[in-house]
Chains A and B, each alone.
Chain A
Amino acid sequence: MITKSLLTIEQVNEIALDTFEMKLKATVSLDEVEPGQFIHIRIGNDNAHQLRRPISIADLDKPKQMMTIVFKVVGTGTETLAQANVGDKLDILLPCGTGYPIDKLEVQKALLIGGGIGVPPLYYLAKQLVQKGVEVIVILGFQSKEYVFYEEKFASLGVCHVVTNDGSYGSKGFVTNVIQEQSPTFDYYFSCGPTPMLRAVSQTLSDKKGYLSLEERMGCGVGTCFACVIPTPESSTSYKKVCQDGPVFEADEVIL
């Protein structure tokens, strides 16, 4: 069940260009939070920002009630969030959405494909998979060298390929180029990133089973406002809500 609570900021670090990692201490239990879920953060405490910002969960330490989020500054809301100080409290809704259903899957080997600010939720997912004895292969795509983050963290969990669009770090191109070059074997793939990347990934891996985590502008974040819907194949009016039914979907469940 989603609740509103306050998280205390314990650390803020700029870990790549415009990219911030925040470590947050919860006063409520995080035990039920699943990989792929997100928190919906109020920006400031006045009327300046009316919409919360959905930020995915990058890591959890459940016994210590600690959460890590990573976000990119893309506008005034995330800029305000990045300027928050250690000790400040964030008003959040938690846990939002439906995550990666890894406990229900028979998986020995998984391919994780992240693009840009879609990378963070894959880190907690990778940790959970490795803990279950799953072998992980990771492909991380970024615009260029200065945006790269979390490479070492993923490399400690499995084979990690980094690709940049301009070739300034790792190989040059897109995550789909790496998939084609490496043609890795795996049972399931898990991907998170911008919609054009997810579309390319799901087309490249159309014969494989996989899950996609979608990025979309949200309003309420809890399923009432219909801002973040995505069409589904059943009919011309069928849909899923990214905030509530997702952000994680089976690759063939939604029309990208």
Chain B
Amino acid sequence: MNNLAVELPGLSLKNPIMPASGCFGFGREYSKFYDLNKLGAIMIKAATKEARFGNATPRVAETASGMLNAIGLQNPGVEKILAEEVPFLMQYATPVIANVAGSTIEEYEAVAEAISRSSNIAAIELNISCPNVKEGGVQFGTDPTLASEVTRRVKAKSNVPVYVKLSPNVTDIVEIAKAVEAAGADGLSMINTLTGMQIDLHKRKPVLANKIGGMSGPALKPIAIRMIYQVRQQVSIPIIGMGGITSAEDVLEFLLAGASAVAVGTANFQNPFICPEIIDALPGVLEKCGFSSVEDAIGKGHEHATADISGA
């Protein structure tokens, strides 16, 4: 029996591990390192309506146990992604989750409608939390009213389940999570990057051309765990967890906090084989910690909770 399988809206996952959007392109490059059939799912790079070049370089900087990025949603536009990128992934029996971005609600609607019509897309990750674009993006993810509105309207256009990707750049993430759940979201993915900055001592200016970037990597993990834990207590739709995962132990920690599956992002850059290595290690870690399956571990970090951790 496969003790790694997880059933989520629109997604029958053979294991709970998927590469995170923006860290895996559209799969071609990493398919040269290993068989993508191994993965639970694949979250492809964000799509917008038209092609975007993104920000000027430098776009990345390393930080202690993490990194900053300000790519700026560079992509060839939804139609080209559907025509030139998605077909490549069809040779794999691995569900594809499309990340949908936009500057206006109308753009989110148009991209979601177009991409969800493809029979090759199993679910949408609604990106209302990209910190690296001037318009749209994170503004939809930091205001509960806007988050609710974009979720409701994208749900009405989408043919597949919608997972709303939440921003950690808020005072109360539970409030946003409740708002998108009420608006009809099928699930959540959390967390996106936390905004940060690094300054070059010699040039006396921010390293990134965009000045501000999104921070990711292991340094972010306790924040992601805390936010998932809090959201799990007050929201019932499933959570795909992410934020600094580099090992099967990290995956179990996310499951205990309340995630039903996880995405691995930055760690792909350090080790291109990180996803299959985690998948191979996960059964042993589950067993060592007394769990018979992934499903068995989901949310189990809450059973001894007594203190009020609502954050209020």
Q: Please give the residue numbers on chain A whose beta carbons come within 8 Å of chain B beta carbons, in ascending order.
A: 1-2, 4, 42, 47-52, 75-77, 93, 216-231, 236-237, 239, 244
Indicate if the CB atoms of B59 and A49 lie closer than 8 Å: no
Interface membership of B284, Cβ < 8 A: no
Chain A neighbourhood of B273, CB < 8 A: 4
B52 and A225 within 8 A (CB): no
Give CA–CA (A231, B58) in the complex, Å: 13
* Interchain residue pairs with CB less than 8 A apart (28): A4-B273, A42-B270, A42-B271, A48-B64, A49-B62, A50-B65, A50-B67, A50-B217, A50-B267, A50-B269, A76-B62, A216-B58, A217-B58, A217-B60, A219-B59, A219-B69, A220-B29, A223-B29, A224-B25, A224-B29, A224-B30, A225-B25, A225-B60, A226-B45, A227-B57, A227-B58, A237-B51, A239-B74
CA distance A79 to B140 in the complex (A): 41
Once A50-B266, A50-B269, A227-B71 are accepted as A-B contacts, the answer to whether A237 and B57 lie under 8 Å apart by CB is no
Question: Would you give the shortest CB distance from B32 to chain A, in whole angstroms?
Answer: 6
Tell me if A225 and B62 are in contact (CB < 8 A): no
B206 at the interface (CB under 8 A from A): no
Cα–Cα, bound, A218→B270 (Å): 12
Cross-chain pair count, CB within 8 angstroms? 105
A77 to B58, CA, bound (A): 17
Known: A47-B218, A50-B65, A225-B71. A217 touches B272 (CB 8 A): no
In whole angstroms, how far apart are the Cα atoms of A115 and B272 in the complex? 32
| B82 CB within 8 Å of chain A | no
B246 within 8 A of A: yes
Consensus secondary structure, chain A interface: loop
Interface residues of B (CB under 8 A from A): 22-25, 28-30, 32-33, 45, 51-54, 57-62, 64-67, 69, 71, 74, 76, 217-218, 246, 266-273
Q: Point out the residue from B59, B64, B66 that lies within 8 Å of A228, measured CB to CB.
A: B59
Closest partner residue, chain A, to B23 (CB atom) = A225
Residues of the A chain whose Cβ atoms lie less than 8 Å from the Cβ of B59: 217, 219, 226-229
In the complex, residue of chain A having the shortest beta-carbon distance to the beta carbon of B66: A50
Question: How far, in angstroms, from A76 to B266 measured CA to CA in the complex?
Answer: 19
Which residues on the A side are within 8 Å of B53 (C-beta)? 229, 231, 236-237, 239
What is the CA–CA distance of A111 and B29 in the complex, to the nearest angstrom? 34
Complex Cα gap A219–B54 (Å)? 15
Known A218-B60, A231-B53; judge A52-B270 contact (CB<8 A).
yes
The residue on A at minimum CB distance from B54 is: A226
CA distance A52 to B266 in the complex (A): 11
Q: Are B29 and A222 in contact (CB under 8 A)?
A: yes
Contacts A4-B272, A222-B272, A227-B69 given: A50-B62 contact, CB under 8 Å? yes
Roughly how many angstroms separate A75 CA and B33 CA in the complex, as a whole number?
29
A238 to B71 Cα, complex, angstroms: 15
A224 CA / B33 CA spacing, docked (Å): 13
Cβ–Cβ < 8 Å partners of B23 in chain A: 220, 224-225
| A229 neighbours in B (Cβ, 8 Å) | 53-54, 57, 59, 74
